[in-house]
Structure 1
Amino acid sequence: MNGHVPLQDAEHIELQIGREDGEDTVTTSDEPLQPQVPSSVQDKGRLKSCSTIVCWKCKLWMVAVSIFFLIIFVIILILIFYPVVYIDEDEYWDPESIANGNRHNFSGMLKIHCAAPQLLLSDLKYDLLSEYLHKRLTDVYSNSPALGRYFISAKVISISEENGTVSYHLSFSVPSDETEEFMKYRMSKHFLMNVLRQDIYDKEELDGVDISGCTNMTLDPTSISLKQLQADTAGG
């Protein structure tokens, strides 16, 4: 009554607490135990799997290493022998067979546009313009990936002062064993004109050529014409 629990009641409370603790202990002890495998046993298992005999007396790690080195060996062989076996026909050509080949000559015309109605060319200006056009034609065909190896020469024949028409000749040498398809497409006048036409579209202006009374002098890509002359056979 004064805040103290009677002795008999206190013993009863302690007994109940003891029972509850015992039940918790039993419940905890009933939980399944998961045995832990030692790390040394796991390592031995991995080593055993790598040491498994796959074929005859070859173990797994031996097979893996052999395959790895075999792949490297095959790659090295490919890198060594592929450039020797493969030959790009467009990159390989015989200079002697081209030099002794058949000559194919073409005659072409091209117009120069000028603000003046006529080109007033002194001998010096004529030579300057002729030299520029000769260099332009030579650079176009000698630097062409498709025609450069066959190109022999370009020559400016005349420049008309009345209408600005340029006459020129082109010469190519083609091996006698070239196919008919090659002659039909690569050495055709249409292909030759397209090569020059594309170069003029890229750069129409005539840089470094100063003609009095003629400003903004350009080449006309639409005026190109070409005809094939009689071919000269090898040794002819």
Structure 2
Amino acid sequence: MCIFSQNNMNIEMHSIKTNGSDAATHLMTAAAGNGDGHAYRCPRTAETKGLLGAQHNGHNGETTPSGRVAAYASPRGESAMCRVKKELREVVFWKVRLWMVVVMLFIVVVAIVLISLAVCAAIHEDADEKFDRSTFRIPRLFNGSFSLPGLVFTQDLLMGSSNESQALASVLQSKLTGLYASSPALGRYFSKAEIYSLRNGSVIAEYQLTFLMPEEHEERLRSFTLSREMVYNVLRQFLCDQEDHASGPFYIDPVSLKLF
């Protein structure tokens, strides 16, 4: 029994020694592979302390979260602005500074542009706007008719002297006069519009348009500007653009328009 216990103790002690030897061997191998353990770790520690020290010492002991880049970015930006301000404050001559010169140049440029626009507007003359209306003596007449489906015909409309007939004729004449007088192409030549008859068929109004032409351009005006097609198309477009509803009393049916 004693011999067995002693052997067991020897075995256990041998195991412990073997484990200790393995641990020592492992430490020595790690040290041999990485070099001196202290020599390997110290530079990293020193570098970290150096960076921390730089961060603390850069702003009187306060830590800068953004690092060295943030510490130097602001002074560079401020120095550029300072240079610009300093240059603008430089005296060009006498007591005039550079910023004053820049402002004066801007004001002069704006003034030149405004004066140029005013002069161009004053001297610009449209040749088409220069005409003597007293020379417009040759009449150009057009007759036609249209219907007003929103009106109910009465016997009073047959009598040109009745109040109802005169009131309706006045409204329609004003409508035609306003249309042709405001026309860019025909306005200068337009003289008058007249409703000379109202008859049955819903209500059919017969009208006459009078234009005056200068003698020197009579042929050209008859062929183009005051042609039947031009006068008809202006009135037809106006009727198509009416804002009144079809049931309105003064609505003119574009389809019923006639001009000859």
- TM-score of the aligned structures, taking structure 1 as reference length: 0.54
CA apart distance, 1:84: 0.9
Verify: 1:191 aligned to 2:218, yes or no.
no
Superposed, which structure 2 residues align to 1:46-61 within 5 Å? 47=86
Cα deviations by residue, 1:70-95 (Å, 9 ceiling, x for unpaired)? 423421321331211223456x344x
Verify: 1:75 aligned to 2:113, yes or no.
yes
Mapped to 1, the partners of 2:155 and 2:146 lie a distance apart of 15
Mapped to 2, the partners of 1:199 and 1:136 lie a distance apart of 10
- Whether contact under 8 Å (2:138, 2:215) holds in the other structure is no
Cα deviations by residue, 1:75-117 (Å, 9 ceiling, x for unpaired)? 1321331211223456x344xx12321433223222325589x
Q: Higher RCO, 1 or 2 (CA under 8 Å, sep at least 6)? A: 1
Cα deviations by residue, 1:110-157 (Å, 9 ceiling, x for unpaired)? 2325589x9442222444433333233223222334333322111223
Aligned counterpart, 1:151: 190
Mapped to 2, the partners of 1:113 and 1:224 lie a distance apart of 10
Mapped to 2, the partners of 1:88 and 1:61 lie a distance apart of 44
- Whether contact under 8 Å (1:151, 1:172) holds in the other structure is yes
Mapped to 1, the partners of 2:120 and 2:215 lie a distance apart of 30
SS across alignment from 1:219: coil
Q: Cα gap change, 1:184/1:50 in structure 2, threshold over 3 Å: closer, same or farther?
A: farther
Mapped to 2, the partners of 1:165 and 1:60 lie a distance apart of 79
Aligned counterpart, 1:112: 147
- Whether contact under 8 Å (1:106, 1:226) holds in the other structure is no
Q: Cα gap change, 1:45/1:206 in structure 2, threshold over 3 Å: closer, same or farther?
A: closer
Give the one of 133, 150, 159 matched to 1:98: 133
Q: Cα gap change, 1:75/1:223 in structure 2, threshold over 3 Å: closer, same or farther?
A: same
Superposed, which structure 2 residues align to 1:164-175 within 5 Å? 164-175=203-214
Mapped to 2, the partners of 1:182 and 1:50 lie a distance apart of 69
Larger Rg: 2
Give the one of 222, 225, 231 matched to 2:258: 225
- Whether contact under 8 Å (1:108, 1:224) holds in the other structure is no
More helix by share: 2
**For residue 227 of structure 2, what is the amino acid of its counterpart?**
S
Structure 2, unaligned runs of 5 or more: 1-41, 55-71
Q: Cα gap change, 1:109/1:46 in structure 2, threshold over 3 Å: closer, same or farther?
A: closer
Q: Cα gap change, 1:190/1:224 in structure 2, threshold over 3 Å: closer, same or farther?
A: same
Mapped to 1, the partners of 2:119 and 2:179 lie a distance apart of 36
Q: CA RMSD in A?
A: 5.0
Structure 1, unaligned runs of 5 or more: 1-19, 54-58, 209-217, 228-236
Q: Cα gap change, 1:181/1:62 in structure 2, threshold over 3 Å: closer, same or farther?
A: farther
Verify: 1:129 aligned to 2:168, yes or no.
yes
CA apart distance, 1:177: 5.2
